[in-house]
Amino acid sequence: AGKGIRVEPRLFVQFLATIIYTGIQRVLEVEGMGSLDIRDLMIMASTYRVVETDAGIIRGRRDRRLLKVFRAFGIDDSGDIPRTP
């Protein structure tokens, strides 16, 4: 570490990232999706959109794989989404 730079916060962030990564991988393996790479999972999930309009809530397309990921992580996408005031 350079002068005046604290290493501990960076190590803590790396520690948290490792725990999150491991938790995600564990859920994928338990749900039979162990072959799905976490980077691919994040890319797939990031394509999902929810748009709030004056006419209501519009949800993006969800394929079978994305629905399976939602179920694996306990994400309920079937109900109403609270509207922002």
- Which segments of the chain are extended strands (E)? 50-53, 56-59
pLDDT of residue 51: 84
Q: Could you tell me the two tokens for 32?
A: 């039979």
Question: What's the CA gap between 38 and 19, in Å, rounded?
Answer: 13
Residues 72, 28: contact at Cβ < 8 Å?
yes
For the stretch 43-77, pLDDT in tens is 888 888 888 888 878 888 888 888 899 889 988 77
Residue 40: count of CB within 10 angstroms of its CB: 11
Whole-number average pLDDT of the chain: 83
